[in-house]
Structure 1
């Protein structure tokens, strides 16, 4: 695969990973559980990508974090904030709309279903 193609694929995935991560934070998750949930849905994400993304989402106030120290190994859990829930729903709606439009384009149809 060419460097250009790799770069374009990375660019294409960047936004989708953010949406995928937000979609799984309706309930509290820690990093590894999040990786497992995403991989079970066919979305591979490296921890070296996930943790900076989680920190950015927390800084943007879309995600809240808290430490659970009840087990022998402390875990940092992440969950959508109320603001994050609002933003997620808007992003999801936009993604669904854009996906339908792009699918039509890639199939070679206009809005009337005419090629």
Structure 2
């Protein structure tokens, strides 16, 4: 699955929409006639819609909750945890083998001792 590219035009368009809304609001005739009011409403609505779309896109970006530094910290922590688990596994595998060998040796010694002490016919 290919990663989606970051939708730059949506975010870049926000600045243009904001500028248009501010210019329309600051024009001298913005409150004088119905056409200017309608233009102001249209400009602010476009900015509001663009902002909502940008927010939706930002919220759906994969892995966007962590900063790069935070992601690197998590990766380092997971690598350390992995290494620790590997060391524990190696330790336990040695212990199992050693314990199993000791049990086999004890069993062989017990067999030898019981054979030696058994009366022969």
- The TM-score, its normalising length taken from structure 1, stands at 0.32
Task: Name which one, 1 or 2, has greater alpha-carbon Rg.
Answer: 2
Bigger share in strand:
1
- The TM-score, its normalising length taken from structure 2, stands at 0.31
